[in-house]
Amino acid sequence: MDQFASAPGGIEELLSRLLERQRAAFMAAPRPTARERAEHLQRLETAVKKNQDAIANALGTDFGNRARPETVLAEILPTIAACGFARKHLAGWMRPQRRAVGLNFKPAVNRVEYTPKGVVGVVAPWNYPIYLTLGPLVDILAAGNRCMIKPSELTPATSALLAKLLGDIFPPEQVAVVQGDVAVGRAFCALKFDHLLYTGSTHVGREVMRAAAENLVPVTLELGGKSPVIVAEDYDVGKAAKSVAVGKFFNAGQTCVSPDYALVTGGRAEKFAHSVLAAAEAMYPKLDGNPDYTAVISDRHHARLTGLVAEAEAAGATILRHRDKPTGNTRHFPPTVVLNPPLDGKLMQDEIFGPILPVVRTENLDAALDFVNTRPRPLALYAYTNDSATERKILDQTISGGVTVNSTMLHVAQDDMPFGGIGPSGIGAYHGHEGFLEFSHTRSLHKPRFFTAIEILKPPYATRMRLALKMLAGFELK
């Protein structure tokens, strides 16, 4: 049951009160020092370390089965690393920067200062509900802000754990977790935050942006889309297939930067497709009762994935399925490769978000690049090539949020690189220094010394102004 189900005053009023409480606390202490911010991050890091088993258990409950190594690799370790990286660099990030002063304005001082924005709202997804909640929180706290968090209703055990974990280390006027259903989420996105971060689907991202626009709230949208794999002709398809399979079936494909489809030239496409399935069967010899293979989050998502494959098969695609078929009451969806999928079908139009990999034949690299460029800009792009000229061509002739070469998804795990999409795959970026900047206001400061030109060149505009304009701009005032 969500915390607003029987509360008097309605969802909107309760959320507004919480927001005003955080804003009042922020205005009472609007500039946390570097030491204070580092202490907040240390608290968060310590809490995550102490609650590793509880985190893994909660995720296991929500997913039905969540591979514990995947929880450690993709949720716990990157959160701990983000805290440490931010603490190490925080003082340098906060330091004001001197900027050049134009000759016409000297003597003077110019600098930019990085000030907290205030209260930041975070709408977190279900697929990585720890890291995609606490990762942004690291950047938000590093920037000196307060934070309200709305976790996904699809992961209630993890949401409850987050509420307890964060409630134990932060007062609600600093960090607060708001649990609830879709109605609570809509009310949350309509609040007058100083910044709003949403991670999730492009469709819902449009609704979030629309709600934020009513209050002119700046947004960071981490969306998704169909992230392509391009296997160049110089690269061994068997080697590429093993690499792609690791990224594709991690978390059962429920990853925003998961390889969504592969582009492989000519006759090599069939070998690649069979090699991907062989790699999946080697990683997961069985599916039922396999603790290493994560389940699909809900029955609705499982049914959606089943429908995608059925539609492609009915249209004539070749379906390669894992040899082990899950039985009983399970949401394990078998690793599946779809060769020659219909390009107008849902499988090639919608983000898959599951353990299904379409493999598309292309004539050559140019055809693969055209294929990518005639579709919405993806969150990630994966290029497999050992030729530097080919790598450069792929990078120069495509646009995506990020790129990993000869592997998948690893660019997201880099603390000192931004993570974000472009266009339909997202707006803005965070992680590390870019995250600090995303949730900070860059304020300009100009300080004249001794005198200012604006005070000298004031009305009435007479001979002095004419001479000044001629000297400064070569402009003859008539």
- Residues classed as catalytic: 222, 256
Residues in contact with 34: Cβ distance below 8 Å, sequence separation at least 6, in sequence order: 90, 91, 94
CB atoms within 10 A of CB 322: 22
Which tokens sit at 35? 């030491």
Check: CB of residue 365 under 8 Å from CB of residue 397. Answer: no
Number of helical H runs and strand E runs in the chain: 18, 16
Instruction: Give the length of the chain.
Output: 478
Query: Do residues 216 and 190 make contact, with C-beta atoms less than 8 angstroms apart?
Result: no
Strand-pair partners of 219: 196
Sheet strand arrangement including 380-384: 318-321, 336-339, 356-362, 261-265, 228-231, 380-384, 402-405
- Of 475, 432, 436, nearest to 457 by C-alpha is 475
d(CA 273, CA 303): 24
The DSSP element (H or E) to which 285 belongs, if any, is: none
Strand order across the 97-99 sheet: 97-99, 108-116, 440-448
Q: Tell me: cis bond preceding 107? Omega within 30 of 0 counts.
A: yes
- Of 257, 266, 218, whose CA–CA distance to 120 is shortest? 218
Q: Comparing C-alpha atoms, which of 242, 253, 246, 205 is closest to residue 356? A: 253
Query: Are the CB atoms for 51 and 167 separated by under 8 Å?
Result: no
